[in-house]
A and B are shown apart, each in its own frame.
Chain A
Amino acid sequence: MAEILKNRQLQIIVMLLSFLFVFLPYFLNVPQLNTASTKLITITSIVTAFTVALAVLAQFRRGINIINRRSRGWYFKAYMLMTLVLMLGFSLISRETGPYHWVMFAVVNPLSSVNYGILAFYMASTAARAFRARNTKALLLLLSGFIVLIYQAPLTGAYFTGFEPIALYLGSTFGLAAGRMFLISVTVGAIVFGVRVIMGNEPSVLGLSKEE
């Protein structure tokens, strides 16, 4: 059975049919296709939920294997598995109050916020490297970056109001145009990539080699 399910042709056929069931109802006015598409999306959600459970199980097996082998940093794995079990248990009791709520809101969220806040320093160091007028393009980047920065920063934005129309102009013309071109190129790339996947020319994304 496992060999049949791993069959490349079968996987591509399932993928093609799933694609058609979702793609066609977007364009064609056929109620039966719409119903089939909705059902397929529901089935996908259920399968995804099961897959998460399987993935957690796989993590468990891997973690226990590492602990048994006493590989480097095995105690971190033991800690991870212990917290996984505890959090799973706590979440079954209640997610709005109690230990689960406390861990999420008093530990995980503040630590995540700290990591997010560190981004400001990363952005500053990136800007320090990038905003050097080494050539014409870099000079343009520096000037536009400087204008937008002055406008966005609360203090300078309030005092140097003359930068506002230039910053808004840069955003609503060059910025918007570049953003739309990005979206167009991503869309075109997605369609071509999708066709290659459906034709079986991107076997690597299924974890298969070209020869299989």
Chain B
Amino acid sequence: MADMLFSVPGIINGRFIGFLLDIAMAALVYYYIKTRKMVHIRRVPGLDAIEEAVGRSAEMGKPVICSFGIGGFTYWTLAGLSILSHVARLSAKTGSRLIVPTGGGDQALIVRPVAEEIVKTAYTMEGAEDQYNPDDLPFYSGQQYAYIGGYVGVMQRIRPGSVIMTGSHASEAMNIAETSNAVGAITITSGSYIGNVAALACASDYILIGEEAPAAGAYLSEDPSQRASIRVQDLFKWLAIAIVVLGIAARSLGNDFLLRLLST
């Protein structure tokens, strides 16, 4: 690591700028939500396609499959649950049967009751409590590949109209995406780790990359203040790009100021 420009008492060396950036980002999100600022946000085709996919399933009279991953309460799982909530509401609204395969890891046992609550709440909010069936949230296994056996099996048997796979899926993501494609379902996936993204991008009809999946809750919300918070993501991505370009230019000219600043 390069030499720091300065040190700040009470703050661990090398973490000051990171701390400031985190605070700035949190403050901006707060600002955008509280001021209900109307901003332009770019379209995310993968998220726009969710409504189309559920609608298509309803038209065809086929079920929708939506999974939130095999991990515990990680950031990806939470993002997946946020999407599940939206899919459940759409399914309840359109009268589509929603199947949520659960399991895949010991930690998934903990997430399952929350997922059940989310789906139940969504059906209740749409006034379709009678359509909610807890048996449509099957627990396949605590083992990754036993879970995927169940998941692929149910896709082959019921031939869903759409498969929305979010959350932290590992190597089994390809089994799901390809089987979904083989049964003719609209496939929407989110790549939770870099090793998966390229393969999933080829296998899926739509893919949510990077920050698009966690933005789903706000993006799909009808509340403009929520949607505005997504703007912060775009702003900080531009900041990151600017730092990268400036850093390359500065280092090429033999200047290490930016490097030292970021090491502070």
Contact = CB atoms under 8 A, between A and B. Distances in A.
Contacts of B199: 123, 126
A189 B177 CA distance: 24
Interface in B147-193: 148-149, 171-172, 174-175, 177-178, 181
B175 A195 contact: no
Contacts of B79: 193
A192 B33 contact: no
Contacts of A127: 202
Given A112-B144, A125-B178, A29 B10 contact: yes
Given A30-B10, A183-B194, A202-B82, A123 B174 contact: yes
Interface string A101-113: 0000000100110
Contacts of A119: 171, 174-175
Given A193-B215, A207-B114, A188 B121 contact: no
Interface string A165-208: 00000000000000101111110111111111101011011111
A195 B26 contact: yes
A205 B10 contact: no
Given A28-B10, A193-B215, A52 B110 contact: yes
Contacts of A66: 135
B213 interface: yes
B178 to A, nearest CB: 4
Given A204-B118, A207-B121, A195 B210 contact: no
Nearest to B29: A195
B217 A192 contact: no
A185 B237 contact: yes
Interface centre among A27, A116, A199 (most CB of B within 10 A): A27
Interface stretch (B17-25, B54-62, B249-257): B17-25
Contacts of A58: 112-113
B106 interface: yes
Given A116-B171, A191-B22, A195-B29, A129 B202 contact: yes
Contacts of A188: 25, 211, 233, 236-237, 240
A190 B214 CA distance: 7
A51 B110 CA distance: 6
A27 B178 CA distance: 43
Nearest to B68: A205
A158 interface: no
Contacts of B226: 196, 201
Chain B interface size, as a band, is 35 or more
A193 B202 contact: no
Interface string B1-34: 0000000001110011011001001100110010
Contact of A52 (B18, B85, B109, B240): B109
B217 A202 contact: yes
A199 B15 contact: no
Contact of B75 (A62, A71, A108, A194): A194
A6 to B, nearest CB: 10
A35 interface: no
B25 A191 contact: yes
B232 A182 contact: no
Contacts of A209: 121-122, 124-125
Interface of B: 10-12, 15-16, 18-19, 22, 25-26, 29-30, 33, 72, 75, 78-79, 81-82, 84-86, 106-107, 109-110, 112-114, 117-118, 121-122, 124-125, 134-135, 139, 143-146, 148-149, 171-172, 174-175, 177-178, 181, 194, 197, 199, 202-203, 209-215, 217-218, 226, 229-230, 232-233, 236-237, 240
21 contacts: A48-B107, A52-B109, A55-B110, A112-B143, A115-B149, A115-B175, A123-B199, A126-B203, A182-B197, A184-B237, A185-B210, A188-B233, A191-B25, A191-B26, A191-B236, A192-B230, A192-B232, A193-B217, A196-B33, A199-B33, A204-B217
Given A126-B177, A184-B237, 11 more contacts: A26-B12, A48-B110, A112-B143, A115-B175, A122-B175, A122-B178, A182-B209, A189-B213, A192-B233, A196-B33, A211-B125
- The 7 A-B residue pairs with the shortest CB-CB distance, nearest first, are A189-B211, A207-B117, A185-B210, A204-B85, A130-B202, A55-B109, A193-B214
